[in-house]
């Protein structure tokens, strides 16, 4: 869990989640973000819209691929991880958006019936030199499957507003 004091901001969307500012994160903090079961229909629905390659879309063709069965698009894996992180810590926070992500590693394929959970670790916290109202946080995201272990990892940067003076 994150440490540090937290005040409830006027735009918080999560009544049970006090609004988090830049100052509420410390390097080394770990946030556990809940879990989700992935379904075949979700995998195919995402693939139809965004990544219609046969191993993401068609069970028969996927069975003959190097994956040996249907696997989620890597972008679906990222999006599912994001949803877990948004629900647990970004929604209602002072997050102002992200300039980018480093080093996505798709370590193992995500398959129908997999049960995944996300973890976020704070690896950098740097106040902006040019803009006193914000700072940059770097997070290590990990998506882990109950039986398979690590599925995906990445380093994501977010700009967070600093806490207003009391």
Asked whether position 166 contacts a copy of itself by CB under 8 A, the answer is: no
Q: Least distance in Å: CB of 157 to a copy of itself?
A: 10
Binding mask 77-106 for a copy of itself (x = CB under 8 A): -xxx-xx--xx--xx---xxxxxxxxxxxx
Nearer to a copy of itself, 96 or 115 (CB): 96
Asked whether position 54 contacts a copy of itself by CB under 8 A, the answer is: yes
Asked whether position 144 contacts a copy of itself by CB under 8 A, the answer is: no
Q: Least distance in Å: CB of 76 to a copy of itself?
A: 8
Q: In what order do the strands lie in the sheet with 30-37?
A: 30-37, 115-127, 134-145, 149-161
Indicate which single residue of 51, 59, 124, 148 sits in contact with a copy of itself (rule: CB under 8 A).
51
Q: DSSP E strands: which ranges in 107-148? A: 115-127, 134-145
Backbone dihedral angles phi then psi of residue 121, each to the nearest 5 degrees: -120, 135
Nearer to a copy of itself, 80 or 137 (CB): 80
**Gap between the Cα atoms of 154 and 166, Å rounded:** 35
Q: Least distance in Å: CB of 4 to a copy of itself?
A: 21
- 156 in Cβ contact with 139 (< 8 Å): yes
Q: Least distance in Å: CB of 129 to a copy of itself?
A: 18
Q: Can you read off the two tokens belonging to residue 157?
A: 């940067």
Angle at 161 between CA 157 and CA 17, to 5 degrees: 90
Nearest CA-CA partner of 121 in 11, 1, 29, 33: 29
| Angle subtended by helix axes 74-85 and 40-50, to nearest 10 | 110
Scan residues 123-142 and list those touching a copy of itself (CB under 8 A).
none
Residues that bind a copy of itself (CB under 8 A): 11, 13, 46, 49-55, 61, 65-67, 71, 73-75, 78-80, 82-83, 86-87, 90-91, 95-106, 109
């Amino acid at each position: 869990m994150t440490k540090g004091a937290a005040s409830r901001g006027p735009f918080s969307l999560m009544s049970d989640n006090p609004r988090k500012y830049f100052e509420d994160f410390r390097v080394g903090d770990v946030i556990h973000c809940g879990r989700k079961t992935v379904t075949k229909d979700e995998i195919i629905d995402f693939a139809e819209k965004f990544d219609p390659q046969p191993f993401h879309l068609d069970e028969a063709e996927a069975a003959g691929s190097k994956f040996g069965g249907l696997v989620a698009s890597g972008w679906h894996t990222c999006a599912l991880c994001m949803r877990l992180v948004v629900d647990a810590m970004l929604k209602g926070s002072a997050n102002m958006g992200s300039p980018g992500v480093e080093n996505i590693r798709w370590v193992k394929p995500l398959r129908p019936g997999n049960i995944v959970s996300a973890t976020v670790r704070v690896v950098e916290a740097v106040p902006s030199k040019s803009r006193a109202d914000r700072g940059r946080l770097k997070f290590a995201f990990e998506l882990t499957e109950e039986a398979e272990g690590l599925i995906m990892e990445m380093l994501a940067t977010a700009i967070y507003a600093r806490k207003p003076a009391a």
